[in-house]
Amino acid sequence: MRERFIDEAKIFVKGGDGGNGCTSFRREKYIANGGPDGGDGGSGGNVILETDAGENDLLQFKYKAHFKASPGGHGQGSRKNGRNGKDIILYVPPGTLVYDCETGDPICDLTEHGQQFIVAHGGRGGRGNAKFSTPTRHVPRFSEKGEPGDEKWVRLVLKILADAGIVGFPNAGKSSLLSKITSANPKIASYPFTTLNPVLGIMQDGDVEVVLADVPGLVEGAHKGQGLGLLFLKHIERTRMLIHMIDISDEKTQENPIKTYESIRNELDLYDESMENKPEIVVLNKIDLVQDREILKKIENIFKEKGIDVLFTSCDTGEGIEELSKKIFQYAQEAPDVPETIIPIRPEKMITDFTVEKEDNSFIVKGYKIEKLMAMMDLYNPDVVSYLQKKFKGIGLEDALINAGAKAGDNIIIGGQNFDFDPDL
């Protein structure tokens, strides 16, 4: 038996750490005091998500949820740079939304085949000491360590992209319709809940393609999680139109067809208000089982009074199928596009974005970039400390610490590293 269709997954992604820069000086025969020649570390690999139309669901992430790209190589003497780490590419089906687990915000919507998104950047390679020589610093005795790669937990949610969703009670004939008008081959059987996963099929007319999604049958309470409904309602959220199928051979439905219609409508509307804006084709199926055609005429009028045009079909005899196909193509042309998912724009993080807080006798500096910078620094090296002092003055950190009340000798903590405050007064 096929594994259950997986349309949500939580994964941990980490870009490779950057390689360390190298501290080295040229040493050659007959050349005195060779200059700094330490090479740079290579960048860490990225973790990339790529849309692949050949992928159906997120099943692969059920078995493996941790992905770490490889680190960059370390720099070496003679200005030899480290090699870059390899990227990891994870393939996801079209319609995969990526959420940041920490903020809950969507960070990317992967819709087009081949579209890529770097979900975790590799760290920058540390610069070798050759890069730190300046007119006033001829002998840089330090280099940077590699920058740590980004790491985070993200949630992947697949919301299928199709033009039309086929909805209705179990056993209405939704999968039968899909197999009739597309080349898809869904499971069909005379019991409810035959379809357990959404199945896509494509209708083609010349260059025009309409993608249909057959989803598991809905029941009353589906929007609250009854039956399989809630699990799959999200797959019709992004369809542009609905094909609402009703089994008209059912006696109860014949007595009160509007009730059957409205109970499905109710579930859709309660799930999400966007459902109300989707054009809907109402199809009354299994007419081959209705002997008395007068009943159909009466039912048609009942719907008409409500302002709803219905089509009659039989997936068994093929009656009405051609008319329905035409209507689907016509509606697909006119149906409005589903609004794009809004991805909040996150301002780029700057080294000057930091906060200073006093805690006991220490001052804690927090900021994404400044913490990353500190991770690249070897504070046991006095040359690094004097380099950092200049840097802190330049980015306004020295002033910020003084304003927060820090005095010479106070303990400063940045990214878990401790050092004494030594303002350059």
CA 396 to chain centre: 37
Cα–Cα dist 101/153, whole Å? 6
- Spatial neighbors of 345 by CB under 8 A, at least 6 apart, are none
Long-range pairs for 364-371: beta carbons < 8 A, 24 or more residues apart:
364/413, 364/414, 365/397, 365/401, 365/412, 365/413, 365/414, 370/395, 370/397, 370/414, 370/415, 371/414, 371/415
Among 131, 145, 234, 286, binds ligand GTP (CB under 6 A): 286
Q: Give the residues lining the site for Mg ion (CB under 5 A).
A: 174-175, 194-195
Q: How many residues bind ligand GTP (CB under 6 A)?
A: 24
Query: Least Å distance between CB 96 and ligand GTP?
Result: 24
169 touches 46 (CB < 8 A): no
The 8-class DSSP code of residue 192 comes to S
Cα angle at 331 between 328 and 332, to 5 degrees? 80
Closest approach of Cβ 226 to ligand GTP, in Å? Answer: 14
Contact between 269 and ligand GTP (CB under 6 A)? no
Strands 66-68 and 8-14 come out as parallel
**Could you give the residue ranges of the DSSP H alpha helices within 205-292?**
229-237, 251-255, 257-271
Contact code string over 136-175 relative to ligand GTP, x by CB under 6 A: --------------------------------x-xxxxxx
Partner from ligand GTP, Mg ion, none contacting 198, C-beta within 5 to 8 A by type: none
The answer to whether residue 217 forms part of the interface with ligand GTP (CB under 6 A) is yes
- Considering the complex, state which of residue 319 and residue 357 has its C-beta at the smaller distance from ligand GTP: 319
The 169-188 contact track toward ligand GTP, x by CB under 6 A, reads: -xxxxxxx-----------x
* Residue number, 214 or 398, with CB nearest to ligand GTP: 214
For ligand GTP, the binding residues in 307-326 under the rule CB under 6 A are 314-316
Q: How far is the CB of 244 from Mg ion (least distance, A)?
A: 14
Tokens of 130: 């050759």
Residues that bind ligand GTP in the complex, under the rule CB under 6 A: 168, 170-176, 188-190, 192-195, 216-217, 285-286, 288-289, 314-316
